[in-house]
Every structure is written in structure tokens, then in C-alpha cells.
Amino acid sequence: MTELLSIKGLNKSYGGVKATDDLNLSILKGELHAIIGPNGGGKTTLISQLCGNVMPDSGSVHFSGRDITTMSEHKRPHLGMSRTYQITSLIRTMSVLDNLQLAIQAQAGHSFRFWSDVRRHQIERERASSYARQVGLEGQIQSRVDNLAHGEQRRLEVAMALTSNSCLLLLDEPLAGLGGQEAAEMIKLLDSLKGHKTMLLIEHDMDAVFSLADRVSVLVYGHIIATGPPEDIRQNAEVQQAYLGEA
């Protein structure tokens, strides 16, 4: 498989704390690659460096063969990289449809149309509706975001990431705070995207990770201690001691 994302020797320190410590990682095109590890292990800092929100102290990040290590955050989505967050970042007083239409407009660079009535733009409206259907929100298309269940808001955020047609989705704990049924719906959605999108998944739900991931990397105190297929990671003695537990 072709390498889509290459991370080499990535370092980021905050005082005496190394959030990423000589981190090396390759993400293959089309795979769902999960990163697991204890809280404070550096997972969110890694994602922030990949999307340009945080600049590394040293090391390199290449995306589709291009060095993006020092590229500004706003340019990276245009290369085909989108991120979801631990906490949903939606316009809660607007509808599902309006949130999706604004995301579509932002990707198209319609900055001078920001204050126009997006409801007039029929093509964007139809595209927004198709993304809502893709994540199972067609029945809530006119609902205000603050009236949606938490799991529905999570799925809307994934839909907004999809509007960019990105080839790489950076998913930062998409199952955080979800109940059993909501988590099952999110897992089903992510599974439906496998093979169509390359996904880098940060997640604490081990059942979801081991059922979804093609490969898993374990990040402990800023350093990758193991990478491999889910079953290899589950049986890895060092991983069991550092994170999963002997059970």
C-alpha cells in the first residue's frame, strides 16, 4: 500500500514534558490506523501537530509526498486533510443543513458570500443533504444542532469533515461521551468509510479500536512503543504492561 502520511523524528516539549518524543509513524493510503495510549501520552498533541495547530520543535511531517511540517493550519485542509475534535465545534443555534452548507462554502473559499443567505444556493443545499444522509441525519436535516442528541452532533461533525472531500480524516476521540447505541452508530459510520477514506483514529474505546482498525499504534509518553495489526497489539507484552493491562 502507498504511504500517505509520513512522520519522522517528531519532537514537541512543554518545559520538561515531552509530548512527542522522536516519534516515527507511517499511515498507509486507505487504512484505518488507530492510535491508543494513556491520558497525557501525547495523542492530541500529535494530532495538533499534524493539522498545523501546534508546530513541532523538530522532525518532519510529509503528506502525499509533500513536506508540510511548517505549513500553516489553514492551508492543510486544501491538501486533503480534515480533523474532528474531542469537543464538537458546531454552530449550535443553526440547523444541520445550515452547518453543512457553511462547511461546503468554507471549502469552496466563498469568503465574500459569507453574509448572503446560504439557503438560496440549491446545489450546496443538495450536497449538504447528501452528506446528512451519509451519516444517518436525513431525518434531522432541519433540526437545530442544540436539539440533537450528543451522538447525532458527533455524526454531524464527521459529515462536516466529509464535505471537504479530504483523503485523510483525523478523528480525535469521536466516541467520547457516547452511550451504547450512539457508539454503535458511530462505529457503523466509521466502518462504512473504510476503504473510501484514510483515517487516523485517536480513541480510548478498545472494543471500537480492535473492531475497526487495520493497524494500531500505541503512544506512551510521546513515544510509539508498538505498531501492528490489532491482534498483535493485543498480545504484545510491552503494550499490556504499559497500557492494556495483563487481563
Q: What is the pLDDT of residue 142?
A: 94
Q: What is the pLDDT of residue 225?
A: 93
pLDDT in tens, the chain (247 residues): 799 999 999 999 998 899 999 999 999 999 999 999 888 888 989 999 999 999 999 999 999 999 999 999 988 888 889 888 755 678 889 999 999 988 888 776 655 455 555 555 778 888 899 999 999 999 999 999 999 999 999 999 999 889 888 899 999 999 988 999 999 999 999 999 998 999 999 998 999 999 999 999 999 989 999 999 999 999 999 888 877 664 4
Q: What is the pLDDT of residue 247?
A: 41
231/25 Cα distance (integer angstroms)? 19
Structural domains of the chain, with CATH: 1-80+166-247 (3.40.50.300), 93-165 (no CATH)
Q: What is the pLDDT of residue 246?
A: 45
Q: What is the pLDDT of residue 165?
A: 81
103 to 59, 91, 117, 181: CA distances (angstroms): 32, 11, 14, 27
2 to 5, 12, 30, 31: CA distances (angstroms): 9, 27, 9, 10
44: which 3 cell numbers? 492530541
